[in-house]
Amino acid sequence: MIGKLMKYDLKKMFRILVYIYVCAISLAGITRLINIGKDIQILEIIGYIFAGCTYSAIGSVLINTFVQILRVFIGDFYKDESYLTHTLPVEKSKLLISKYLSSLIVIVCSVLVSFLSLFVVLYSKELFEGIRALLEVSVAGFNMSIAGFLTLLIFIVFEQICGMISMAFASIIIGCRENSRRILKGLLTFIAFYMISMMFTFVILAIVFAISGNIGEFFASSLSQGSFITILILGLVLYFVYAVGFFLISYKLFKKGVNVD
Amino acid sequence: MVLEVKDLKKSFEEKCVIDGVSFKIQKGKIVGLLGKNGSGKTTILKMINDLLTIDSGEILVCGETIGVKTKAMISYLPERTYLDNTKTISQVFDFFQDFYADFDRCKAEQLLKELDLDINARLAKMSKGMKEKVQIVLVMSRNAKLYILDEPLGGVDPSTRDHIMKTILSNFSDDASMLITTHLIADVEKILDEVIIIDKSKIVLSGNADELRKKEKKSIDEIFRRIVK
């Protein structure tokens, strides 16, 4: 059943995004082609214009990704289409999980399209070697390979995205339990959740540094190898806790029932 | 008993909109839930369909509390258009086929022809009346145990009303029951077996439609006008 729900959720979310993806990649390709002849002054100017358009399109991909996710979530659960969604013979948990998984897929696709567009516009051997050198310097003191470091970083970012989706969904569900100004209350709830989670992260980090006797490093500008690894592991644990915790809040409240307009 | 509503209560910000409503619907009956605009008819239907939470009381559909099982048994027509405008009718049929085991696609296509609608037409290009016809087709093409129709005749012209009434009646099986709300009582009263009149959040009159007519020597429409002023 989740597969069927996801099929329809993904169709709705991708309906507009697909055009923006095509636009971003096309602009990136055109920019790349123009840059081949950048020795000619007029082509160099046109190249700059197209590069600007490409970066705008990439920005649009990222902004629209979140807009589409929220539009589909609010539309399906609290607007006119909710009359169909909530009367489907499907458990509420499955409705929520479908939205969650579809949102993750859409975000991953949007990030990949953004990186692909940037790669098409910016790739050069020199740039690639420059990034590699920078990464080697960054991980040199931490006894890690570049691949390991990147994998860990991607995993933490992915967990952070999961946490943000859970937080956003929980905020909307809480906001929509009210009878008026639902979206505004949802937004205020999201800001409150975000601030609380950031403060909690800060406090936990301070406690861990204090226990390990490195509280001085907590306020310093550079980190030792041990402290850096501690922060990464803490990030992994805390973002996992946020993702699961906020999902459970969403699920518990959603299961209690909704009050659609 | 197909539907049992027991001492149902609902408030919005301390304003009581449903105050201790109780009624039952037996198998094979068509029941009219009648009331003025804002009397609480739609609120009751939304609670039966899990679109509103219940403050207190109980709703049972074929003995089951509201949940996945009851949703599979109820075919609900809300008062508003809930369809995704970007879809064609055919795509909406696919959606219903995916989620409702009792959806009869052949019947839906047949009904669509009778109502002169094109299966490949996009909802965005349809008028409100046409969309209401599509929703009626979707609801009546399910072999449900309980049909709940909220203002099925609201906002459509008299000719379309006749089409809709004909579609509802010709596709209603004796094994099923129907709860229908409307304030256009004259248009539906001839099909009603029982009536429930609701006013100011409470049931003010209920009973067998024929018996009420006989007792009061008036039509249901006239009885309604006398009670609800």
Which amino acid is residue A211, in one-letter code? I
Confidence at residue A121, expressed as pLDDT on a 0 to 100 scale: 87
Nearest residue, CB atoms, B86 vs list A15, A82, A88: A15
CATH 3.40.50.2000 fits B3-227, yes or no: no
- B80 contacts in A (CB within 8 Å)? 80, 83
- B68 contacts in A (CB within 8 Å)? 89-91
Domain boundaries, chain A: 1-123, 124-261
3-state secondary structure of B181: strand
pLDDT exceeding 90 applies to what percent of chain A? 48
Per-residue pLDDT at A203 exceeds 70: yes
Per-residue pLDDT at A257 exceeds 80: yes
- B51 contacts in A (CB within 8 Å)? 82-83, 86-87, 258-260
- Distance from C-alpha of B137 to C-alpha of B154, rounded to nearest angstrom: 16
Nearest residue, CB atoms, B76 vs list A8, A81, A87: A87
From A89's Cα to the closest Cα of chain B, the distance in A is: 5
Of the candidates B38, B131, B26, the one whose C-alpha atom is nearest the C-alpha of residue B78 is: B131
ipTM of the complex: 0.88
From B13's Cα to the closest Cα of chain A, the distance in A is: 8
Nearest residue, CB atoms, B82 vs list A81, A90, A179: A81
- Distance from C-alpha of B183 to C-alpha of B37, rounded to nearest angstrom: 7
CB contact under 8 A, A87 and B71: yes
**Beta sheet of B64-65, edge-to-edge order:** B15-25, B3-12, B56-61, B64-65
Specify the higher pLDDT residue, A248 or A211: A248
Per-residue pLDDT at B171 exceeds 80: no
Domain boundaries, chain B: 3-227
Task: Please indicate, yes or no, whether the overall pTM of this predicted structure exceeds 0.90.
Answer: no
Confidence at residue B155, expressed as pLDDT on a 0 to 100 scale: 67
A129-174 pLDDT tens trace: 888 888 887 777 667 788 888 888 888 888 888 899 999 999 999 9
Average confidence (pLDDT) over A170-189: 87
Per-residue pLDDT at B133 exceeds 90: no
CB contact under 8 A, A80 and B82: yes
CB contact under 8 A, B53 and A256: yes
> Could you tell me the pLDDT band of residue A223, with boundaries at 50, 70 and 90?
low
Alpha carbon A154 to its chain centroid, in Å, reads 11
Per-residue pLDDT at B156 exceeds 80: no
A32-48 pLDDT tens trace: 888 887 777 887 888 88
- Distance from C-alpha of A50 to C-alpha of A29, rounded to nearest angstrom: 10
Average confidence (pLDDT) over A234-257: 90
Residues 102-161 of A with CB under 8 A from B: none
From A185's Cα to the closest Cα of chain B, the distance in A is: 16
- Distance from C-alpha of A250 to C-alpha of A168, rounded to nearest angstrom: 9
Could you tell me which chain B residue has the CA closest to the CA of A260?
B51
Confidence at residue B142, expressed as pLDDT on a 0 to 100 scale: 93
Confidence at residue B32, expressed as pLDDT on a 0 to 100 scale: 92
> Could you tell me the pLDDT band of residue B162, with boundaries at 50, 70 and 90?
confident
Give the mean pLDDT of chain A: 87
B49-91 pLDDT tens trace: 999 989 999 999 999 999 999 999 999 999 888 898 899 999 9
Average confidence (pLDDT) over B16-24: 91
